[in-house]
Amino acid sequence: MGDLGIALIAAGSALAGSGLTGLFTILAGRRQAAAAQYAGDKQAQAVLVTVQQTLDEQRVARLQDARRNVYAAFVASAEQEANKTSQGVFAQTSGNVMEVDIALSLIKLEGPPNVYDKARQARFVLGVENFTMASFEAKLHEFIDAAQEVLNG
């Protein structure tokens, strides 16, 4: 074998080595790309979960605020009506009874049903002929307990 044969063998070895190195580089690049895509997918999924949790928490907070406002309006109007009724102005003829009924309707919309039932019972006491502040306060406290249970969750 002469110099030409040695040169051909060396050139062939160099080409084969370069080809193998290129193949390994391509395979390693594909593995890295797949790993990067997997990591990116996991990161995107984590971001979506976090965003969904934040939106859920905001929705719950808005619901709680709406309920709190409705419940507070009912308590305020019912107490005002109870004070008038205890002074001899019957609830059926007082102008504030409409505010109590509106607040009661809003509680029915906002829920839950057990809180509405307690509010309805407190409202009923306002309209009875033998009204007593003690019976009203007892029913109002039942409503407040049910409302606090819902709001505190």
Please state, in angstroms and rounded to a whole number, the distance separating the CA atoms of residues 142 and 122: 8
Residues of the chain above pLDDT 90, percent: 39
Asked if the model's pLDDT at residue 117 lies above 90, the reply is: yes
Kindly tell me if the per-residue pLDDT of 15 is higher than 90: no
Amino acid identity for residue 74 in this structure: F
pLDDT band at 10 (very low <50, low <70, confident <90, very high): confident
Output the six-digit token pair for 17.
């080595």
Q: In this structure, are residues 55 and 95 in contact, taking their beta carbons and an 8 Å threshold?
A: no
Residues 120-145: b if buried by 16+ CB within 10 A, e if exposed: eebbebbeeeebeeeebeebbeebbe
pLDDT above 70 covers a percentage of the chain that reads: 93
What CA–CA distance (Å, rounded) separates 75 from 14?
A: 90
Q: What is the pLDDT of residues 48-107, one digit of tens each?
A: 889 899 998 999 889 899 999 999 999 999 998 888 877 776 545 556 678 899 999 999
Q: Evaluate if residue 150 carries a pLDDT over 70.
A: yes
Helices 113-127 and 97-110: crossing angle in degrees, nearest 10, is: 170
More confident residue, 144 or 129: 144
Secondary structure class of 117 (helix, strand, coil): helix
Q: What is the pLDDT of residue 91?
A: 47
Beta-carbon contacts of 85 under 8 Å, excluding residues fewer than 6 positions away, are: 91, 94, 126, 131, 136
